[in-house]
């Protein structure tokens, strides 16, 4: 199981700012434990929550990386509407979930991430077989120290956590820029950082622009 390049970049950044110094080690540990129990495992995502903010890192098997480059002619268009005539028809929702699955993913399993200090986020596992986790639920619950009834099957067949992990370095860069802009405003106006952050958000909302654009403008003005 190989961490995405974005996961490595994000882990270095999180380590550098002291938010989650062991993020990559946690990801690799989870991947190793899960792979030992699930032969059909093709992907692992770990979401750690630090000060109320989630950060997702993902590792995938070579087979899944290759699947993403295959001809997707057999995969329905993600923009195509799929009619579900009966909202309570479980079979129809299973079909909907299957048609929205990412290439190479046929099952997923979600469970809490529990570290030494207690609950810390979430784990998402992805299998290449529809029954990849069926006979291994109890073993996985034991391996990760979570109650059996907290395991959730097939909640993320589209592999949305991978998209979140791919976007994380950009998000971290924006967070860093925003923090620097808040500090600059606080120093210039004599505000607390909380007040500066609130006023920055209010100014962006009143101007009708994304806060990241206003942050970049402020940082350009603050350059010596």
Is 173 within the bounds of a domain?
Answer: yes
What is the extent of the structural domain holding 115? 2-158
* pLDDT for position 92: 43
Same domain, 120 and 191: no
Listed residues 158, 188, 214: the one ending a domain: 158
pLDDT in tens, 12-61: 877 776 666 688 898 999 999 999 999 999 999 999 888 788 899 999 99
For residue 128, what is the DSSP state? S
Residues 6+ apart with CB under 8 A from 109: 124, 125, 127, 133, 137, 140, 151, 152, 153, 154
For residue 7, the tally of other CB atoms under 10 A from its CB is 26
> Domain tally for the chain?
2
Q: Is the pTM of this model over 0.85?
A: no
CA distances from 78 to 97, 100, 126, 158 (A): 12, 7, 20, 10
């Amino acid at each position: 199981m190989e961490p995405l390049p974005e996961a490595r970049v994000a882990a270095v950044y999180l380590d550098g700012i002291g938010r989650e110094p062991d993020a990559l080690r946690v990801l690799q540990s989870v991947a190793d434990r899960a792979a030992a129990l699930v032969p059909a495992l093709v992907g692992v995502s770990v979401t750690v929550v630090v000060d109320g903010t989630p950060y997702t890192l993902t590792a995938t098997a070579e087979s899944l990386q290759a699947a993403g480059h295959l001809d997707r002619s057999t995969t329905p268009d993600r923009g195509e509407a799929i009619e579900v005539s009966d909202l309570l028809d479980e079979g129809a929702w299973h079909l909907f979930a299957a048609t929205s699955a990412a290439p190479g993913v046929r099952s997923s399993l979600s469970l809490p991430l529990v570290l030494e200090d207690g609950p810390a986020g979430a784990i998402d596992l992805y299998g290449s077989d529809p029954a990849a986790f069926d006979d291994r639920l109890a073993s996985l619950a034991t391996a990760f120290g979570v109650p059996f009834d907290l395991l959730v099957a097939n909640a993320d067949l589209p592999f949305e956590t991978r998209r979140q992990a791919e976007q994380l370095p950009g998000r971290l860069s924006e967070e860093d820029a925003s923090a620097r802009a808040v500090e600059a405003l606080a120093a210039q106006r004599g505000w607390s950082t909380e007040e500066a952050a609130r006023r920055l958000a209010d100014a962006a909302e009143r101007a009708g622009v994304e806060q990241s654009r206003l942050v970049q403008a402020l940082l350009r003005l603050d350059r010596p």
